[in-house]
Amino acid sequence: MISGAVLEGLRNFLPEENILLQEPMAGHTTFRVGGPADCLLQPENEEQLKSVQKYLQAVGIPWFVTGNGSNLLVSDQGYAGAVLQIGQKMSRITVEDCILRVQAGASMAQAARAALEYGLTGLEFASGIPGTVGGGVVMNAGAYGGEMSQVVEQVNVIDCHGERMELQNETMEFGYRSSVIRDNPFIVTEVIFRLEKGDRDQIRSTMEELAARRREKQPLEYPSAGSTFKRPEGNFAGKLIMDAGLRGFQIGGARVSDKHCGFIINTGGATARDIRDVIVRVQEQVKDRFHVELETEVVLLGF
Is 208 considered catalytic here?
no
Catalytic option among 127, 179, 227, 257: 227
Is 194 considered catalytic here?
no
Rg of the chain over Cα atoms, rounded to whole angstroms, equals 20
Is 257 considered catalytic here?
no
Catalytic option among 177, 179, 190, 224: 177
**Active site positions, annotated:** 177, 227, 297
